[in-house]
Amino acid sequence: MDLQPEPVFLLQSGSIVGLSADTEYQLRIQLYSNDQLVQTKTTSFRTRQAQPPVDPNKVYQLADIYQHGTLDLEALGIEGQESGWAKIIGNDELVIEAGPDDDIAINIGDNNYIYFENIQVKGGRRHAIVSLNAHHLWFSGCDVSAWGRQAGDIRDGIAYENEQAAQPINYDAGFNLVQSGVIVVEHCRVHSPIPAANHWGQGHPHGATAFLASGNHPQSEFAGQLVLRYNHFIGSDQHRFNDVIESRSNGQPWGGFMQHSAIHDNVLAYANDDLIELDGGQHNVLVYNNDLQQGYTGVSAIPNRRGPSYIFQNYIHNLGDQRQRAWAAIKLGGLLSAPMGKTLIFENLIVSRSNGIAAAKFKGDSSFWVDARNNILIHDRYWQVMGYSIFDEMPLDASSYTNNYMFNLATGQPEFRAHIDQGFAFSEQVNDATARMLSQSDSPVAMAIPPAWQIDNFSRLNQAGLVLIGAQLSASPSQ
């Protein structure tokens, strides 16, 4: 795909997706001026390994290093190095369980190059797993539950730990990896926190989160690079997360996932606010092939402080908070209030009772910069500011909307507030019968897309040459 402008550092930037792990690739970049080739640059690179290298002298069985309470790796001095990581192996019988006075269940501190496998974690008065200024951490096959503060006082529907607490219970996290980068969390279950979040009817939601993104490691080479894949982060209907995946320092370029990060092949459910909150830096941050449901918003990218970020091939459906109210599948805004980043939204299957791509205010600003192509957006309600496939209150000439299938089943026609650059290629399919069929289809949906509008390196084609719209989850990592 063509490189995208990144206006903060005046770069042309892009992501190459769908590569295999631990594989050598050649890269050719061609520079044109006035349609004339003026320079060609070639280089090579190797993708990361599917698993980190382990030092055989630093393999620890959990039973040999853990007795009770907090597992303190900083105190134990357990860490590896780039050529050989330390590995901690758990089992289904032994649970790391924090005591009632232990604020956290696992303390990593600033130790680095640690691989956790099959670790069962329970409790932590504030958080389950914590690091500070760490890098190169890997969690595989872990189960995390029952962390966070117990509500001792409820004020206007919002939970506080006790009557003396000045601040509500908030940011209690299954993973709270503070100013830490180069992290993989895969095949993990994060569920059943102690605090339950309030809903928007009681004010901004406060409560627990499965993963709290804080990728601003103090050394730039370790900043960002957070990968969450093949996980199940799921609350429950009456015991919801605030955000399932939440970001810190939302309005800052160093906020959240920051740079070179990916959230893919996850099942995320039950939030009273966002299922995924990207807010912050978003430089080459990719969200794809996820199943997202039961949240007030599917993916929030407000504001995008740098860009480009990519939201593609997700299945966003059955949205709703605890009251079964929702705002949007993808929420954007705040572009002009701060340095601006572009958000690219491709080939998502969105079926909701709310909006599809919609603005929300950040510092009073609803503007955003988007390239939205080949998405299916179907809605079954319509009133005032609800039921729009695209709700762009402050349209920018730089934004583009191309070949999106849009339909509102309640009104029997597409509903949008935006300047549409190119409508859906096959206008005869934009009707109630086709929209209902698409809304009831399993994800992904195979759809005919003219070759000119297929997206280089992103569009997935089946054997019949149809483009797959939405997520296609696999139980195991795919190459």
Q: Is 88 inside a domain boundary?
A: no
Lowest mean pLDDT among 3-17, 120-134, 160-174: 3-17
Among 288, 313, 306, 406, smallest CA distance to 357 is for 406
DSSP string, 391-432: E-SS--TT-EEES-EEEETTTTB--EES--SB--S-GGG-SH
Q: What is the pLDDT of residue 6?
A: 85
Neighbour-count burial of 72, counting CB atoms closer than 10 A to its CB (0-12 exposed, 13-18 middle, 19+ buried): middle
411-421: per-residue pLDDT in tens? 999 999 999 99
Q: Is 23 inside a domain boundary?
A: yes
Q: Is the pLDDT of residue 478 over 60?
A: no
- Number of domains, the chain: 1
Distance of CA 319 to the CA centre of its chain: 16
How far apart are alpha carbons 299 and 333 in whole angstroms?
A: 12
CB atoms within 10 A of CB 402: 18
Q: Is 97 inside a domain boundary?
A: no
Q: Six-digit token pair at 321?
A: 């908070």
Neighbour-count burial of 433, counting CB atoms closer than 10 A to its CB (0-12 exposed, 13-18 middle, 19+ buried): exposed
Q: Is 29 inside a domain boundary?
A: yes
Q: Six-digit token pair at 238?
A: 């009456």
Summarize the confidence of residues 357-372 as an average pLDDT. 93
Q: Six-digit token pair at 21?
A: 């792990």
Q: Is the pLDDT of residue 247 over 80?
A: yes
**pLDDT-based confidence at residue 474 (cuts at 50, 70, 90):** low
Q: What is the pLDDT of residue 393?
A: 87
> How much is the mean pLDDT over the chain?
95
Summarize the confidence of residues 225-251 as an average pLDDT. 95
* Domain boundaries, position 193: 4-50+148-469
Among 28, 67, 56, smallest CA distance to 44 is for 28
314-345: per-residue pLDDT in tens? 999 999 999 999 999 999 998 887 778 999 99
460-472: per-residue pLDDT in tens? 999 999 999 999 9
- Percentage of the chain modeled with pLDDT above 70: 99
Summarize the confidence of residues 165-179 as an average pLDDT. 97
pTM assigned to the model? 0.96
Summarize the confidence of residues 137-155 as an average pLDDT. 97
Summarize the confidence of residues 43-61 as an average pLDDT. 97
Q: Which residues neighbour 413 within 8 Å (Cβ) at sequence distance 6 or greater? A: 407
Q: What is the pLDDT of residue 475?
A: 45
Summarize the confidence of residues 436-448 as an average pLDDT. 97
Q: Is 100 inside a domain boundary?
A: no
Residue ranges with strand state E in 252-392: 259-264, 267-269, 274-277, 283-288, 291-293, 297-301, 309-312, 315-317, 328-332, 343-346, 349-352, 355-359, 370-373, 376-379, 390-391
Q: Six-digit token pair at 52?
A: 């980190």
How far apart are alpha carbons 437 and 31 in whole angstroms?
A: 45
Q: How many CA atoms lie within 13 A of 221 on its CB side?
A: 0
Distance of CA 268 to the CA centre of its chain: 9
How far apart are alpha carbons 426 and 438 in whole angstroms?
A: 14
One-letter amino acid for residue 366 of the chain: S
Q: Report the first-to-last Cα separation within the chain, whole angstroms.
A: 20
6-28: per-residue pLDDT in tens? 888 888 898 999 999 999 999 99
Q: Six-digit token pair at 175?
A: 């993973």
Beta strand pairing call for 416-417 and 390-391: parallel
Beta bridge partners of 155: 158
Among 426, 421, 310, smallest CA distance to 376 is for 426
CB 52 within 8 Å of CB 58: no
388-403: per-residue pLDDT in tens? 999 998 989 999 999 9
**pLDDT-based confidence at residue 476 (cuts at 50, 70, 90):** very low
Q: What is the pLDDT of residue 171?
A: 97
More confident residue, 128 or 476: 128
CB 251 within 8 Å of CB 279: yes
Q: Is 446 inside a domain boundary?
A: yes
CB 240 within 8 Å of CB 321: yes
One-letter amino acid for residue 403 of the chain: N
How far apart are alpha carbons 18 and 32 in whole angstroms?
A: 26
CB 341 within 8 Å of CB 379: no
Q: Is 452 inside a domain boundary?
A: yes
In the sheet with 328-332, reading across from the earlier edge strand, the strands are 71-72, 104-109, 127-132, 172-178, 208-213, 245-247, 274-277, 297-301, 328-332, 355-359, 390-391, 416-417
Neighbour-count burial of 144, counting CB atoms closer than 10 A to its CB (0-12 exposed, 13-18 middle, 19+ buried): buried
Residue 439: its H or E element:
helix 432-439
Summarize the confidence of residues 39-44 as an average pLDDT. 97
Q: Is the pLDDT of residue 477 over 70?
A: no
